[in-house]
Amino acid sequence: MTTGSMSVTPALAAQASQPRGDGGFEGVGRAHGKVILTGEHAVVYGQPAIAVPLSGVELTATVRADGRGMLTSSPFRGSIEDAPASLEPVVTALRGTADLIGMPVAGLSLTIDGDVPMGRGLGSSAAVATAVVRSVVDLGAHRGLRVPDAADSPLADGAPTADPGGRGPADRALHALVQQSEAIAHGRSSGLDPYAVAADGPILYSGSRPTPLRLAADLGLVVADSGSHGSTAQAVGGVRTLMADDPLPTRARIEALGQITEHAVQILAGRGTRAELGHELNRAHVLLQELGVSTPELDSLAAAAVEAGADGAKLTGSGLGGCVVALVNSAESAHAVGKALTTAGAARVWTSILAATPDGSRESRQEEAS
C-alpha cells in the first residue's frame, strides 16, 4: 500500500467529502504515521510508552458507492472479494464500519493512497484502518447515516473509555473498529498504534490509556528507514520467548525501558535537558538490542546519527528492521544527521520538529529529505 504529507484531524468522524463528477459523493479519510520515542516492547508488558505523530507522513482512503466493489492500493488492485489475506485487516475495517452505520457494503469501492511505508514501525496498518474507518463515516454522513453511540453497539465491548481528545462514544466505537483491524494485522498488541496515528500531538500511553503530552521545548526528530521490513508479530514473539526462557534479566530490561519513559516524560515537561533525553534514547537502544530486536543495520544507523551530532538515537517500533529515531537540537543539526543517515544507507529520512506547547496549542513542521 502506498502512503505523503499529513494534516492532523482531531476527531475520527470529522472529515470533508468531495462531490464527484457524477453527482455522487466519495468519502475521504486520512491518518498519519507515528514514531515511538520510548517504550516499545515494554508497553506490551504494561509499561508506559511515548508516541509522537509523524505528521508529514500520511495516507488517504477514498470510498465510493460505485457498485463495483474494487480495492485499489499499491500491493493489490482488483475486486475486494479477491483481496489477499494480507489485506484482511483493511477489508475488515471497511465492512465493520459500513455495518456499524448501516450502509450496504456491496458495491463499495476503496482506494488507498499515501506515504506511510509498511512494516517500518511507523504505524502503517493502524493508519490504513483509521483512514478507512474515517472514509466510510464520511460517506455515510452524506447519506444521513450516523455512528451509533458505543452504548448502542456491540463494538462497545472492550472499547476504551478515553482517547487523546476526550472524544465522544461514537468515536470510541470507531476506535474499537481500528483496534479490531489491528488485532488481525498483528495479533495481540498493546493498543498504542491506533491512538498514536489519530492523535494530533505526542501522547503518553500508560495503563492502556493515552494522555496528551505537553512539550516544554521544541522536539526535533530525524527518522530514518533502514529499508528492511520488520515483523511486529515476530519481534513481539521473540521477546515473549526470552521472557519465558530467561525471565529475570528480561523483566529487568522491560522495567528499565519503562523507567526511561517515565524519565522522558519529566524531561519533555521541562524537568531535564535534551542531552539527558538523548542519553536515555541511547540506553533504550542498548536495552532493545539486548532484547534481541535490533539488527546490524539499525545499530549502524543509530551510531551514524550520534556520530553526526544527534543527542541520542534508537530503533523505533518493533525492530527486526524498520526505522531509527534520532534526537536533534536544531534544523541545522537535523540536516547534518539526515545526510549522515543517508550516507550510512538509510532508504528514506524524515525530519519532524514538534513545537513546544506552552499554551496547549501545538504545531508541527515536517519535511522529507532523501
Residues near ligand PMV, by CB under 6 A: 40-41, 43-44, 121, 123, 189-190, 192-193, 232, 235-236, 317-318
Residue with smaller CB distance to ligand PMV, 58 or 193? 193
Give the nearest distance from C-beta 197 to ligand PMV in angstroms.
9
In 3D space, the residue among 231, 239, 234 whose CA is nearest the CA of residue 119 turns out to be 231
Residue with smaller CB distance to ligand PMV, 319 or 338? 319
Task: For 153, list phi and psi in degrees, rounded to 5.
Answer: -115, 140
Q: How far apart are CA 118 and CA 116, in angstroms?
A: 6
Using CB positions, name the residue nearest to ligand PMV: 317
Give the nearest distance from C-beta 284 to ligand PMV in angstroms.
12
Residue with smaller CB distance to ligand PMV, 41 or 274? 41
Residue with smaller CB distance to ligand PMV, 31 or 80? 31
3: which 3 cell numbers?
A: 502512503
Cβ atoms of 91 and 133 within 8 Å: the answer is no
Q: Find the largest Cα–Cα distance for the chain.
A: 64
Residue with smaller CB distance to ligand PMV, 121 or 140? 121
Q: How far apart are CA 9 and CA 15, in angstroms?
A: 8
Give the nearest distance from C-beta 359 to ligand PMV in angstroms.
31
Give CA separation, 343 vs 120, 301, 306, in Å.
Answer: 19, 9, 14
Give the nearest distance from C-beta 87 to ligand PMV in angstroms.
17
Q: How far apart are CA 190 and CA 45, in angstroms?
A: 8
Task: For 367, list phi and psi in degrees, rounded to 5.
Answer: -145, 155
User: b or e along 343-363 (b: 16 or more beta carbons within 10 Å of the residue's beta carbon)?
Assistant: ebebbbbbbbbbebbeeeebe
Give the nearest distance from C-beta 94 to ligand PMV in angstroms.
21
Give the nearest distance from C-beta 148 to ligand PMV in angstroms.
28
In 3D space, the residue among 54, 45, 172, 215 whose CA is nearest the CA of residue 121 turns out to be 54
Residue with smaller CB distance to ligand PMV, 153 or 318? 318
Give the nearest distance from C-beta 147 to ligand PMV in angstroms.
26
Residue with smaller CB distance to ligand PMV, 101 or 288? 288
